[in-house]
Amino acid sequence: MYNEQRKKDSQKMKEEQWDALLRVVNLFRRYFTGEASRHEQNSIETWEPIENETELLNDKTLEKNCDTKSVWNAVAHELKFDRQPLRLSKERFFIGVFQRRIAAIAAILILMGGGIVYYTHSNFTRHHTDMVAEAKTFFKTTNAQTELLVLPDGSHIQLNRGTKLSYATHAFNDKIREVWLEGEAFFYVAKNPNKPFIIHTGAMRTTVRGTSFDIKAYPQLAENVVSVRTGKVEIIAHNKVLGMLTKNKKLAYNRLTDKAETSDAAWEDAAGWREGKLVLCNANVKELQFRIKQYFNADLTIEGSLLKGVMFNSSFNKETGLKDILERICTLYNVHYELSGNKVRIYA
C-alpha cells in the first residue's frame, strides 16, 4: 500500500513537472516568435541572477547529464519552480536572456522534441548563437490604443492604432539602429551621426541620423507615406533612392506600382492622430474603409462605383462620432448612408 502511494505521488510529481515544463516551453516559444505579451516579454528580459548559486546549467552540464531527469532537475532549479508547479500568472522569472542562463532555455527547447536529451557542445554553441542573432523585441498596439516608446538609444516613438514595431534585441544601437514597422508611427530619433537609424517597412527603407517624422505603412493599404517634421530623411526601395525629404515634405510610395511621389505637406496633418484625431490625408476609399474599421470597429461598404476616385482630406477630433463623420461625407459628396449595428452602407 505504501509503495503504491509512493508510485502515485511520484507519477503526480512527474505530471506536475511536465506541465510546468510545457508552460515554460510555450512562454519561450511565444517570446522568440513575437507572440508573447508585454508582461511576458518583460518577465523574460528582466531575469536577474540568483545569488550563491551552487551549480549553473551550462554546456558541460548538458553533455554530462544527458537524461531528461537530470536536465529537468537542473532546469527546474535554475528557473525556481522545482518545489511547486509553475503558474505564470503569479510567478516572476528573471533572466539575462543571452548571458549564461541561455543554456536553461536551450534545455527546455530540447525537451520539446521528445523525451530523450542528446546535446553536444557544438550543438549548444550553434543554438546559443542562433537565438542571440534572431531574438527581437516586439511592440504592438490594438485598434483601440496608441503607445509611446523610448528605445535604448533614447529615441522616442509613438505608435498609432493597430501597429507593430520590432528591433533586434542585441544588435540595436551596436553599429546601426534598425527597426521594423507595420502600421503608423511618429519618430523622434535621437541624434547620432555615427549610427544611422533605419526603418524597414516592407521593401521601403527610411534612413535618418536624428530627426522627427511620421511613417504610415499599414499592410492593408497599398501606399506608404513619410511626412517630415524636422531634419532630413532618405527613402530607398529596391535599392533605388526614392527621395530625400526635409521639413514639411511628404513622399507617397505605392508598393503595387513601385512608384513614388514627393509633395509639400504640413507634417501636423499627417501626425494629427497623435492627438486622437481621425486623419484622412489624400486618402482613397480603401483607406476610408480601413479607418472606419480601425476607429469604430464598423464595416463600411460602398454601393457600386460611388466615391470611386475620390480622395478624402479631412480631420476629425477624437470626440467626433461615427454618425457625424458619415453625415459630413454624405453632405460633401451627395450620397446617403445606412447604419445597422457595426455595418455601414453608403448608397446613392
Question: Are the CB atoms for 202 and 221 separated by under 8 Å?
Answer: no
Q: Taking 70 as the threshold, does the pLDDT of residue 230 lie above it?
A: yes
User: Considering its fold, how many domains does the chain have in total?
Assistant: 3
Q: Do residues 165 and 230 share a domain? A: yes
Determine the Cα–Cα distance for residues 72 and 87; give it in Å rounded to an integer: 17
Q: Do residues 113 and 144 share a domain? A: no
pLDDT, one tens digit per residue, over 80-124 is 444 333 333 323 333 333 333 444 454 444 444 333 233 333 333
Q: What residue type is assigned to position 147 of the chain?
A: E
What is the distance of C-alpha 154 from the center of its chain? 19
Q: Do residues 108 and 153 share a domain? A: no
Q: Which residue, of 109, 134, 159, is where some domain finishes?
A: 134
Q: Which residue, of 270, 297, 327, is where some domain finishes?
A: 270
Determine the Cα–Cα distance for residues 268 and 213; give it in Å rounded to an integer: 10
Question: Are the CB atoms for 326 and 344 separated by under 8 Å?
Answer: yes
pLDDT at 139: 93
Higher pLDDT, residue 41 or 205: 205
pLDDT, one tens digit per residue, over 110-166 is 444 333 233 333 333 333 334 444 578 899 999 999 999 999 999 999 999 999 999
What is the domain-level CATH number for residue 303? 3.55.50.30
Q: Do residues 288 and 211 share a domain? A: no
Averaged confidence pLDDT in the chain: 76
Question: Are the CB atoms for 215 and 226 separated by under 8 Å?
Answer: yes
Q: Taking 90 as the threshold, does the pLDDT of residue 14 lie above it?
A: no
Q: Do residues 281 and 266 share a domain? A: no
pLDDT at 81: 42
Determine the Cα–Cα distance for residues 131 and 277; give it in Å rounded to an integer: 40
Q: How confident is the model at residue 3 (pLDDT cuts 50, 70, 90)?
A: low
Determine the Cα–Cα distance for residues 30 and 25; give it in Å rounded to an integer: 9
Strand pairing partners for 150?
156
Q: Taking 50 as the threshold, does the pLDDT of residue 65 lie above it?
A: no
Looking at residue 164, what DSSP letter applies? E
Higher pLDDT, residue 200 or 89: 200
Q: Do residues 193 and 217 share a domain? A: yes
Higher pLDDT, residue 1 or 99: 1
C-alpha cell at 154: 533614447
Determine the Cα–Cα distance for residues 189 and 231; give it in Å rounded to an integer: 10
Determine the Cα–Cα distance for residues 265 and 256; give it in Å rounded to an integer: 23
Q: Do residues 9 and 108 share a domain? A: yes
Q: Containing H/E element for 43?
A: helix 38-45
pLDDT at 210: 86
Q: Do residues 305 and 213 share a domain? A: no
Higher pLDDT, residue 322 or 81: 322
Q: Do residues 146 and 54 share a domain? A: no
Lowest mean pLDDT among 15-29, 172-186, 220-234, 293-307: 15-29
Strand 177-188 and strand 156-159: the pairing is antiparallel
Q: Do residues 103 and 28 share a domain? A: yes
Q: Do residues 263 and 286 share a domain? A: no
Q: Containing H/E element for 242?
A: strand 240-245
Q: Do residues 187 and 223 share a domain? A: yes
pLDDT, one tens digit per residue, over 233-292 is 999 999 999 999 999 999 999 999 999 999 999 888 889 999 999 999 889 999 999 999
pLDDT at 7: 63
Q: Which residue, of 134, 157, 176, is where some domain finishes?
A: 134
Note down the domain range covering 93: 2-134
Q: How confident is the model at residue 53 (pLDDT cuts 50, 70, 90)?
A: very low
What is the domain-level CATH number for residue 218? 2.60.120.1440
